[in-house]
Amino acid sequence: MATDVRIITASGLAWVAAIILPIGDFWPANVQFAPNFIVLPVVIPFTFLAFVVYFNVSIFKEIRRSEKQIITNQVSLEVKEKLLKNKKSFYCTTTKLLAIFLCYIPGIICFIIVISFKESIPIHVKLIMFNLSTLFPILNSLFNPLIYAVRIRYFRVAFIE
């Protein structure tokens, strides 16, 4: 259940991660922390992906249980409307997360390729891969309003107005 304390804790952890992870970019070039910072961009996104998949599966199971209650008429009309609204929110969130992963995974793959074959890849190819890997997260900012406009009616109305 989402409580105020859990939401604040999750937000705080997200801010801490957003502040700590890029710190490696500010170290001088002669400081050798490379193994740690090579592993971080690979391990952290996949760990995050595992958590997101686990939580989405848990929510999906709860929605399926709620649908079974609705089918057997074990809930009131008011609760039924709330459950259906939660189901719609779940599908919107799942679509949004899918878009995020589809935008960030190519960058991670490019990073792994560049690190793995750093001597054999020409510098201009590395530059192209870097530009493409930064393009996809930027495109995610374009996809977010489109997803909301397609999935949520009052966003469509606001965009039209």
Whether the Cβ atoms of residue 140 and residue 103 lie closer than 8 Å to each other: yes
Mean pLDDT of all residues in 54-76: 80
Ramachandran sector of residue 73 (left: φ over 0; alpha: ψ -120 to 50; beta: rest): left
Confidence of residue 2 (pLDDT cuts 50, 70, 90): low
Confidence of residue 21 (pLDDT cuts 50, 70, 90): low
- Give the Cα separation of 80 and 127 in Å (integer): 53
- For residue 26, the model assigns a pLDDT of 56
The pTM for the full model equals 0.59
Whether the Cβ atoms of residue 149 and residue 156 lie closer than 8 Å to each other: yes
As a whole-number percent, the residues of the chain with pLDDT over 90 amount to: 0
State pLDDT tens for residues 116-152.
887 888 888 888 888 888 888 888 888 888 888 887 7
Confidence of residue 37 (pLDDT cuts 50, 70, 90): low
- For residue 28, the model assigns a pLDDT of 53
The CATH code belonging to domain 34-160 is 1.20.1070.10
- For residue 41, the model assigns a pLDDT of 60
Q: Is the pLDDT of residue 32 over 60?
A: no
The residue count of the chain comes to 161
- Average pLDDT across the chain, whole number: 76
Domain spans in the chain, listed from the N-terminal domain onward: 34-160
